[in-house]
A and B are shown apart, each in its own frame.
Chain A
């Protein structure tokens, strides 16, 4: 439950903040969620990866459909990708990677600052 919540929070924050802040705000959002939301590191990273991937690839997908693949075909060609929809995958991958790395960093900071005190 908390996991699903964290995915949704990251996704919504990434989107809303991305409306007026630079693209790398997703790393900050990932970092904050990893630091503030209490869950295992693995789950933290996964929520960042998934939220980042899903937001960017779904946004790209909607744009691509409305655009009738006019641009994705050309950009895929520039990137030497055999199929236009691979651009959506690349987009999602980068979104997920950056958010996930941010989440990992935040989660590791939390586990470091909340380590059991030495006796």
Chain B
């Protein structure tokens, strides 16, 4: 009897340990997870300790020291470039390893290894888009250049030094939660990270969606719904700039009307995980002729999804050759946006279309041949992609590669409706390039010519590089690799039965839009079109409009500009879109039958100064009013486009109504009578008031509460306790302070080129990626309040400064 008790109890105990030692669905192995000596408690950092650490290593050229200030910003004082990249790799891994790995897994289409089969479609698309292909091509190129080869090698060695010495108990929290371990870092992952940024910024064109729309609308209608250029455009390069004549004039094929413009047999292909169209930024530089100090001031705030940890990591890298400060990307070496002792630079997304699709016809399901030049041509290769999905057997996917690129959509992925028909993707991100060389050269640049030599290497994602130097030069250059297109080439999917529709060349770098020391005393960009239509190339893309207008208006009116003026402008909440739309709305609103509540809201919007302040209700009213109007106007006739998520831009609708109050789409085709603009605007107003009233009284109605600006953890809504929600900030789309629900200025920087340099910075996060650290999100409250931190640009003589809280000493063996 006792034997039976013993056996049963023994089995029960083993079962208990087994259950607590395994992860189940989304619950981690509980026994290990809560053990104070093994689990999450090990990640709960002491708030009072700031340790000094010493490392004694082979492979270093000499001694180096890292000094951490009170914001945990590391100031790396190293003797050689090789050592500084090693240490940077180590620090990035030390504070952000999980983030680096997760982002490069996503780039490589490997998230299903960690998360399971629900991520498989995303992974398949990443590989078919050629993300790994692109990274491999970049790596080959980067390793040909001794400078970038050394940078990649040393950075990788630094990351691996951290990983190799990481015990299971010390793993970052997310590894414990998800139940896996980090793998070794390598140079390919650096390239994958850069390509992930390329996807984030240079894959937002609508070629597939517009091609599908051709089934329902003709080309003329689509030009009205999706115009290339807005009426009120203020381009990056000032109007009346003389452009050199185009050195390449591509020749249009003779059959474009039938084979291309009016060809509408495209099936509904929908990309998942398209980048946020608001991915963009502001930057501007004011010349010393207009600043109080007499030296240029540069400002930049890149707009990205706001995450914890932040995609940025602030640091200073100092070697005898260059002393650079700014924002770095955990995942690659160098300072990406920042300044050194001589120059400052910042970037905004160019938004140019650098990705086209080519339609082919496979001979059969083997995908080995496609119809080209009147014969069945063999594809270049067939890649077999393997997906090691967690909790499942290995899954394979075969992708054909032709000279244009990978055949992204075919019968095996999304395009099964029409047998054999497939779509290859031609993307500048696939082309061999060495963007990290551009970054390295910017870090070491001392003047305008150095800056020019540096950015030449930056092909994808194309950026508007703003520049300022201590010499007093200011400049902006839209830099990237751009195909020279004939008019309308690349707006839709292109036929590929012969070479006639392919890219015929690239716009020479000197012919890219640029300006140096303009008469107006400032340069600026906010993702708007770069030039007026008289620029001699067709340059389609996805552009913003109103932020650029506001920035130019403010800069033009400023005198004796100070850095505080620049910070105020980055925080500016004026809504230029509202300033354009509201007068139109009020003009056509029928106020005759408004009830009490409606009258009250009408008064508030009629007296609004168009500032999207967090505590006001009227910005919410405006947003709901516009959204309701948009639904009223588009929903009846643009219903077929809902499947592919295509919608005309907000400025397109408002500008169309301003041009023509009898705009054809106002009429609701489902009703017998013909609606007028007044009907539409009044109906929309009424709906908006009802929707506003149903939001929780007072708390849910203010713009800040409605927008509920949130910085999510990288794992998203599944990890809500790790997020920061309800930030009381204003701003919004079309506003310089581009704060949306979870997207906005991910880094803010203002640099004055005085001697010594002065810089003010902040980002919505913290230097540590550990949710158990007090440095995880400690910048967020100040960021929400619109504050900045004065960057401490450490000099070698400062090594005993009281600001230093801890040090890492690196000694060479």
**Could you list which residues of chain A lie within 8 angstroms of chain B, going by C-beta atoms?**
15, 18-19, 22-24, 27, 31, 56, 59-60, 63-64, 66-68, 70-78, 87, 90-91, 94-95, 97-98, 101-102, 104-105, 108-109, 111-112, 115
Contact = CB atoms under 8 A, between A and B. Distances in A.
5 contacts: A23-B37, A56-B35, A68-B47, A71-B43, A74-B771
A107 B734 CA distance: 72
Contacts of B31: 23-24, 94, 98
B510 to A, nearest CB: 53
A101 B6 contact: no
Given A102-B13, A104-B9, A23 B41 contact: no
Interface string B1-37: 0110110011011001100110000000011101111
B800 interface: no
Contacts of B46: 66-67
Interface in B36-57: 36-41, 43-48
A67 B30 CA distance: 21
Contacts of B48: 66
A87 B30 CA distance: 12
Contacts of B771: 70-71, 74
B16 A64 contact: no
Interface string B597-621: 0000000000000000000000000
A73 B722 CA distance: 9
A102 B11 CA distance: 11
A31 B17 CA distance: 13
A75 B41 CA distance: 10
A11 to B, nearest CB: 13
B41 A91 contact: yes
Contact of B16 (A23, A59, A66, A98): A98
A97 B30 CA distance: 12
Given A101-B12, A105-B9, 20 more contacts: A19-B37, A23-B35, A56-B34, A59-B36, A66-B44, A67-B46, A70-B44, A70-B772, A71-B772, A74-B771, A74-B772, A76-B721, A77-B720, A90-B34, A91-B34, A98-B20, A101-B16, A104-B9, A109-B6, A109-B10
Contacts of B16: 27, 97-98, 101
B2 A67 contact: no
A75 B21 CA distance: 18
B473 to A, nearest CB: 46
B363 interface: no
A27 B13 CA distance: 8
Which size class do B's interface residues fall under? 35 or more
A74 B722 CA distance: 6
B49 to A, nearest CB: 8
Given A56-B35, A98-B31, A108 B2 contact: yes
Contacts of B45: 67, 70
Contact of B35 (A68, A75, A95, A105): A95
A107 to B, nearest CB: 9
A78 B34 CA distance: 13
A26 B49 CA distance: 30
B779 to A, nearest CB: 15
Nearest to B177: A78
B23 to A, nearest CB: 14
B720 to A, nearest CB: 7
Interface in B60-82: none
A65 B30 CA distance: 22
Interface in B707-732: 719-722
Nearest to B40: A75
Nearest to B772: A71
Contacts of B32: 22-23
A24 B21 contact: yes
B13 A105 contact: yes
B10 A24 contact: no
B621 to A, nearest CB: 34
A71 B40 CA distance: 8
B774 interface: yes
A104 B719 CA distance: 38
A105 B6 contact: yes
Nearest to B719: A78
Contacts of B773: 70
Contact of A111 (B2, B173, B772): B2
Interface string B772-790: 1110100000000000000
B580 to A, nearest CB: 43
A109 B41 CA distance: 34
Contact of B47 (A31, A70, A74, A101): A70
Contacts of B772: 67, 70-71, 74
A78 B16 CA distance: 22
Contact of B3 (A18, A75, A78, A112): A112
Between A19, A64, A75, A108, the greatest number of chain B beta carbons within 10 A of the residue's beta carbon is seen for A75
A94 B772 CA distance: 21
Nearest to A60: B36
Contacts of A23: 21, 31-32, 35, 37-39
B37 A59 contact: yes
Given A67-B46, A70-B776, A112-B3, A78 B721 contact: yes
Interface in B506-557: none
A94 B34 contact: yes
A46 B3 CA distance: 21
Nearest to A77: B721
